[in-house]
């Protein structure tokens, strides 16, 4: 998590009504936040998350640099999370090396509390794309989203994955 990286701002799609009614925000996760160079000079190709082996023979879990999602200006104060759905739409480009898997999205609430949601490429997210882990936590905060994968065998020296976008839906009341 580097200081100075821009955060994605969400837009609200369901009008505000009753305080007890569940509302929803959809956030496209597309900003490049791999390095401060990208943050200062974004390219036309947006990448949610990228990671790769950095030394010969490296295997095991790898975690992407990730992205902040700033909901402080679009969700009213004192709103509480009902659920979070996160998934990769079917038309989004995903690349990964032959012996690399993309396992989970990691969602962090406050830098210390996080949960994993199974990575799923679909246009119809299921219950495996949804978590209620943060139920009743403040919704109008800065969330941090990363991808987690596994390198089973290093083949090229730069084995890993790249995901060119995802969607995060936060239900709150």
Three-class secondary structure of residue 170 per DSSP: strand
> What's phi and psi for 37, nearest 5 deg?
-60, -45
Which region holds residue 165: left if phi is over 0, alpha if psi is between -120 and 50, else beta?
left
Within 10 A of 166 (CB to CB), how many other CB atoms are there? Answer: 24
**Highest mean pLDDT: which of 23-27, 47-51, 62-66, 104-108?**
104-108
pLDDT of residue 101: 85
pLDDT of residue 138: 94
- Nearest partner of 144 among 92, 88, 105, 103, judged by Cα: 105
pLDDT of residue 84: 96
pLDDT of residue 92: 86
Greater confidence (134 vs 112) lies with 134
Average pLDDT over every residue of 130-143 = 93
CB neighbour list of residue 111: distance below 8 Å, 6 or more residues apart: 1, 144
Q: Is the pTM of this model over 0.75?
A: no
pLDDT digits (tens, 9 = 90+) for 88-133: 999 988 877 778 888 999 999 877 789 999 999 999 999 999 999 9
């Amino acid at each position: 998590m580097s200081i100075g990286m821009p955060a994605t701002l969400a837009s609200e799609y369901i009008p505000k009504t009753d305080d007890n009614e569940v509302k929803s925000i959809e956030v496209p996760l597309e900003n490049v936040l791999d390095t401060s160079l990208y943050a200062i000079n974004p390219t036309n190709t947006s990448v949610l998350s990228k990671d790769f082996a950095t030394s010969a023979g490296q295997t095991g879990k790898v975690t992407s640099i990730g992205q902040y999602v700033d909901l402080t200006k679009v969700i009213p104060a004192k709103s509480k999370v009902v659920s979070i759905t996160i998934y990769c739409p079917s038309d989004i480009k995903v690349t990964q090396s032959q012996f690399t898997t993309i396992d989970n999205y990691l969602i962090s609430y406050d830098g210390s509390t996080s949960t994993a949601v199974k990575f799923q490429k679909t246009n119809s997210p299921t219950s495996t794309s949804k978590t209620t882990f943060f139920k009743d936590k403040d919704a109008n905060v800065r969330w941090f989203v990363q991808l987690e994968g596994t390198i089973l065998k290093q083949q090229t020296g730069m084995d890993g994955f790249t995901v060119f976008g995802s969607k995060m839906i936060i239900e709150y009341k």
